[in-house]
Amino acid sequence: NGTRNKTAYQLNEHFEYYGSYVNRNCYNETATITLHCLARHLEALLPVVREMLVDAIFPEEEIRIYKQNMKQRLNVNMKKSDFVAGRLIDVYLYGEKHPYGKYSSAEDFDALQQEQIKAFYKKYYQQGRLVIFASGRLPTDLEEQLNKYFGDLPNGEIPSIDTPITPATEKKYRIINDEAGVQGSIRLARPFPNRHHPDFLKAQVLNALFGGFFGSRLMLNIREDKGYTYGIHSYLQNHISQSAWLVSTEAGREVSEATIEEVHKEMKDLREELVDDEELLLVRNYMMGSILGDLDGPFQIMARWKNIILNGLDEKYFYDSMAAIKSVTAEELQQLAQKYLNPEDFYELVVV
């Protein structure tokens, strides 16, 4: 939206002139500015990145356009079953007042005021905690440049926001978002500990076996055998505080209930039967191969480091995760399935 010295158009022009790419994203706990450029252009680009961090002005006209665009986008998305399902399942898990469960409405955008945005910007950007990650062919004076343009920033502590989760009491939900809809967006989810919990690493192996890759049991059964869906996946949410274990898919309206039954069947099989050596080896090889792929190049390595550091972990976590993949036994996976893969613990949602 521009700074005191540059309009939004001039900012974009500046980065494009140097053949660079800058992107901004905001997540549940973090906001990021990402810069890709040639090392020799850092001296011209870092001052402008700093300007974005500390000198944005949020003009009223830009806020008006933003509100209008976001309400239009929201109106379109609310007609999509997968979008609605993604919003609702988080509400059931965490409660609509929790940061993980809260979602935006048209009224929220209408109520947004310039002073609110500036106060948030001052607290979390100008005076918040700053972490810088750099990777690639780095210049020898990189640390000097970073200190020159960012070394004087306050880098304050993030205030603790202890919002208790208020999960829904009801477990099963069927939502008709479109009477004429032919597809059901299916979400099953249960609360799960974060990455600091001792079960997390081995549960990732169980998740891969259950629904974490193309050769998983959910995919082989519900996609390949039954043909109910083009794809079905399970995953552990990457939240810093609380987390959750989710199953996500889109299926035909008439087979949505049958799809859920098959998910329950795969949970039951994992609770009652030991995985055989061949299947466990397949999962291990897939997970180790994925890690090797994630380490192919400096940007991918940095992405993994970011995840470790921002979750309050250290390099030991990486080696522990490798060890867990290599050493977890079929008996341990069965025990984890008996502990975590019980249908009665999962919220069950179908949005048509």
Give the chain's domains with CATH numbers: 8-57+127-150 (no CATH), 62-110 (no CATH), 172-351 (3.30.830.10)
Alpha-carbon span 296 to 196, nearest angstrom? 26
116 vs 110, 111, 155, 159, 160, CA distance in Å? 13, 10, 21, 17, 19
- Pairing mode, if any, of strands 172-175 and 347-351? parallel
Q: How confident is the model at residue 277 (pLDDT cuts 50, 70, 90)?
A: very high
249 or 29, greater pLDDT: 249
- Candidate from 125-129, 147-151, 196-200 with smallest mean pLDDT: 125-129
Closest Cα to residue 186, out of 264, 247, 145? 247
Q: What is the pTM of this model?
A: 0.89
Three-state secondary-structure class, residue 134: coil
**Residues β-bridged to residue 172:** 348
Instruction: Write out pLDDT tens, residues 61-97.
Output: 989 999 999 999 999 999 999 999 999 999 999 999 9
162 vs 98, 99, 159, 283, 332, CA distance in Å? 9, 10, 10, 37, 33
**Mean pLDDT to the nearest integer, 263-292:** 96
Query: Are 57 and 3 a contacting pair, CB within 8 Å?
Result: yes
∠ CA(259), CA(262), CA(264), 5° rounding?
115
- Of all residues in the chain, the percent with pLDDT exceeding 70 is 99
pLDDT score at 149: 95
Alpha-carbon span 37 to 333, nearest angstrom? 44
Q: How confident is the model at residue 289 (pLDDT cuts 50, 70, 90)?
A: very high
> What's the distance, CA 133 to chain centroid?
19
pLDDT score at 133: 95
Task: State yes or no: pLDDT of 156 exceeds 90.
Answer: no
Q: How confident is the model at residue 242 (pLDDT cuts 50, 70, 90)?
A: confident
279 vs 83, 205, 322, CA distance in Å? 34, 12, 18
**Mean pLDDT to the nearest integer, 322-327:** 96
Q: Which residues contact 231 (CB under 8 A, 6 or more apart)?
A: 219, 223, 249
**Mean pLDDT to the nearest integer, 219-224:** 96
Instruction: Write out pLDDT tens, residues 160-179.
Output: 777 889 999 999 999 999 99
Three-state secondary-structure class, residue 249: strand
pLDDT score at 154: 85
- Pairing mode, if any, of strands 21-26 and 31-36? antiparallel
Q: How confident is the model at residue 295 (pLDDT cuts 50, 70, 90)?
A: confident
> What's the distance, CA 202 to chain centroid?
20
**Mean pLDDT to the nearest integer, 235-254:** 94
Three-state secondary-structure class, residue 186: strand
Alpha-carbon span 32 to 54, nearest angstrom? 14
Q: How confident is the model at residue 155 (pLDDT cuts 50, 70, 90)?
A: confident
pLDDT score at 250: 97
pLDDT score at 240: 86
Instruction: Write out pLDDT tens, residues 200-218.
Output: 999 999 999 999 999 999 9
Alpha-carbon span 193 to 132, nearest angstrom? 28
Q: Side-chain half-sphere of 210: how many Cα atoms within 13 Å?
A: 32
Instruction: Write out pLDDT tens, residues 103-137.
Output: 999 999 999 999 999 999 998 888 888 999 999 99
Q: How confident is the model at residue 248 (pLDDT cuts 50, 70, 90)?
A: very high
Task: State yes or no: pLDDT of 249 exceeds 90.
Answer: yes
Instruction: Write out pLDDT tens, residues 17-62.
Output: 999 999 999 888 889 999 999 999 999 999 999 999 999 999 999 8
**Mean pLDDT to the nearest integer, 268-284:** 97
**Mean pLDDT to the nearest integer, 256-280:** 97
Average pLDDT of the chain to the nearest whole number = 94
